[in-house]
Amino acid sequence: MTMCAVAAYVSLSVVTSCDKNNGAPPILIDTPVLTVSDVTASGFTVSWSPVEHAASYTYDLDGTVEETSDTCKVFDNLAPGTYKIRVRANAGDNAGFIDSEYAEKEVDLKAGEDPDKPEEQPTENIRAEAYYAGDYYEAGTGNGWINFIEGDIEVEDWGDAVGEGRIVCLDLNFDLPDNPDFAGLPEGIYEMGSGDGAPYTWNADGSSYVISAGSGYSGNGEITGGTVTVSSFGEDGYRIVCELSTEEGDFEFEYRGKVSFINHSGEGEMSNLTGDCEVAEFTQGSQTYLGDLFETGESEMYMVVLADDDYDLNTNFGLGQSIILYLNVPNGSSEGVPAGTYEGLLDAYTAVSLPAWTGLSGIYEYGTYMGCWYFHLQEQVEARFVDGTVNVAVDGDTWVFEGDLLDGYGNTVSFVYEGGMLFADEYMYSRAALGLRQSVK
């Protein structure tokens, strides 16, 4: 009954409108033409040109509907994800006209780019790992290398590639950055260099190479020629087009997406965090008893790894979030990390003593990580900790680790883990000593 009544009312309304238009059918107002701009990780702007005969406009963002007289709307404080924005021109009291159809656009805030620009859309199934090595060739230039990992491929300890995919490693030279923790990749065309570190060159002689596994991937071995063209868009967004040669033949390769260098130069604070970070999703942990590692007689040491689901504790590697802690514990603590408060991180290079109930600040040298670090490889973020506090509680087989650790810029990473712990063996520690990353200079 209610639906019929509504239908009758709509019918009457249309007849009345037609009468006002001297019997002619109502005219549908033109649909707005939408432009999406200023796309960030948390918002965007949608705008449109004024529509003739429109009294107002209605916009609908994933079910949230509002009316406005403006021709522009800014959305902010949005969570990452894909949003549908719809806008309609309203006839209002304009006789002889009816509301337009909705115009629609989809906006992907996870990528932080405009879907109207396909050249800026992230390349599917490819991720980048980028590392900055400083003035590696002592040429007054910056050096960095990027691993483009396509498909599902891994390189085992003995160097064999398994899975299906391709890794393209490019070793590039560019202008020295103002801050080694936030090195950018300058736009331009990079040619094969002569090994002297000249800017806008890439390095051959085995420094740039391709590793392939499975079918459907071309090129393997050392890159012997070609060009790399870099253009940028958005925040840390790059389009990198490669026309390259190997001894097996030529191939083309394109990557679109984020490139954020992790600082392995030994300079700066060795952190590319840009603000505080709270980690609340750690689901697994391990601890390795290292004994009196530095032979001080004052304390013994544990290496603790806390990680989310996207991490393999057996290899100490993963794309997810993880924190590594090196804690100085009282002598005789071989049964597990003792409960208590570990306050302050000491520099293993300069500390005159390593008392219990402290930790070690982060160290990176020749591909090896020690001390306290935060990693999130999927987001290309890494942070060396220089201070902070870790509280540990133990109840049977359950450990609780809760901490606030600071990088050299004063950014705080807060974390909590509660659960069982895997007691790592010597093999796992040796993998950790390799530095969690196999792609290092």
- On the question of pLDDT at 439 being above 50, the answer is no
Give the pLDDT confidence score for residue 425 in this predicted structure: 63
Q: Is the pLDDT of residue 307 over 60?
A: yes
Contact of 404 with 386, CB cutoff 8 Å: no
Band of the pLDDT at 366, cuts 50, 70, 90? confident
Whole-angstrom distance, CA of residue 224 vs CA of residue 172: 14
CATH of the structural domain 24-116, one choice from 3.40.640.10, 3.30.390.10, 2.60.40.10, 3.40.50.150: 2.60.40.10
Q: Give dist(CA 141, CA 120) in Å, integer.
A: 28
**In angstroms, rounded to a whole number, what is the distance separating the alpha carbons of residues 70 and 53?**
14
Taking only the tens place, the pLDDT of each residue in 347-363 is 988 998 999 999 999 99
End-to-end Cα spacing for the chain: 76
- Secondary structure string (H, E, C) spanning the chain: CHHHHHHHHHHHHHHHHHHHCCCCCCEECCCCCEEEECCCCCCEEEEECCCCCCCEEEEEECCEEEEECCCEEEECCCCCCEEEEEEEEECCCCCCEECCCCEEEEEECCCCECCCCHHHCCCCCEEEEEEEEECCCCCCEEEEEEEEEEEEEEECCCCCEEEEEEEEEEEEEEECCCCHHHCCCCCEEEEECCCCCCCCEECCCCCCEEEEECCCCCCCEEEEEEEEEEEEECCCEEEEEEEEEECCEEEEEEEEEECCCEECCCCCCCECCCCCEEECCCCEEEEEEEECCCCCCCCEEEEEEEECCCCECCCCECCCEEEEEEEEECCCCCCCCCCEEEECEECCCCCCCCCCCEEECCEEECCEEECCEEEEHHHCEEEEEEEEEEEEEEECCEEEEEEEEEECCCCEEEEEEEECCEECCHHHHHHHHCCCCCCCC
**Every domain of the chain and the residues it spans:** 24-116, 124-263, 277-433
Rounded Cα distance between 152 and 130, Å, is 18
In this prediction, residues 68-87 reach a mean pLDDT of 89
Side chain identity at residue 169, one-letter code: C
| CA angle, residues 324, 342, 379, in degrees to nearest 5 | 25
Burial of 340 by CB count in 10 Å (0-12 exposed, 13-18 middle, 19+ buried)?
Answer: middle
Per-residue confidence (pLDDT) for residue 23, from 0 to 100: 61
**What is the pLDDT, as a whole number, of residue 365?**
83
**Contact at 8 Å (CB) between 217 and 165?**
yes
Question: 159 falls in which pLDDT band (50, 70, 90)?
Answer: low
What residue type is 257 in one-letter code? G
Mean pLDDT, residues 40-63 taken together? 90
433 pLDDT tier (thresholds 50, 70, 90): very low
Res. 26: pLDDT tops 90: no
Give the pLDDT band of residue 434 (cuts 50, 70, 90): very low
CA distance 49 to 35: 9
pLDDT over threshold 90, residue 392: yes
CA-to-CA distance for 260 and 242, rounded, in angstroms?
Answer: 19
- CA atoms of 285 and 204, how far apart (whole Å): 41
Whole-number pLDDT of residue 41: 72
Say yes or no to pLDDT of 406 above 70.
Answer: yes
7 versus 300: the higher-pLDDT residue is 300
Q: Which of 74-83, 118-127, 234-243 has the lowest mean pLDDT?
A: 118-127
Amino acid, single-letter form, for residue 308: D
Give residue-wise pLDDT tens across range 232-263: 887 778 999 999 999 888 888 899 988 999 99
Give me the half-sphere count of Cα atoms (radius 13 Å) on the Cβ side of residue 420: 4
What value, to the nearest 5°, has the Cα angle with vertex 175 and ends 146 and 177?
80
User: Which of the two residues, 113 and 334, has the higher pLDDT score?
Assistant: 334
Quick: pLDDT tens for 215-226: 777 667 899 999
Mean pLDDT taken over the chain:
85
Q: How do 161-175 and 141-155 pair as beta strands? A: antiparallel
318: confidence class by pLDDT, cuts 50, 70, 90:
confident
CA-wise closest residue to 390 among 309, 316, 285, 310: 285
Q: Give the model's pLDDT for residue 13.
A: 29
315 pLDDT more than 80: no
Q: The tokens of 345 are what?
A: 């991180």
pLDDT in tens, 163-180: 888 999 999 999 999 999
Confidence at residue 29, expressed as pLDDT on a 0 to 100 scale: 93
Average confidence (pLDDT) over 427-436: 45
Question: What's the pLDDT at 118?
Answer: 57
Range name among 133-142, 227-236, 260-269 with the lowest pLDDT average: 227-236
Instruction: For 156, list phi and psi in degrees, rounded to 5.
Output: -75, 170
Residue bearing the bigger pLDDT, 198 or 95: 198
> What pLDDT was estimated at residue 14?
30
Please check the confidence at residue 211 and state whether its pLDDT lies above 70: yes
Closest CA to 290 of 315, 327, 343, 316: 327
Parallel/antiparallel/unpaired status of strands 44-48 and 34-37: antiparallel
What pLDDT is recorded for position 121?
72
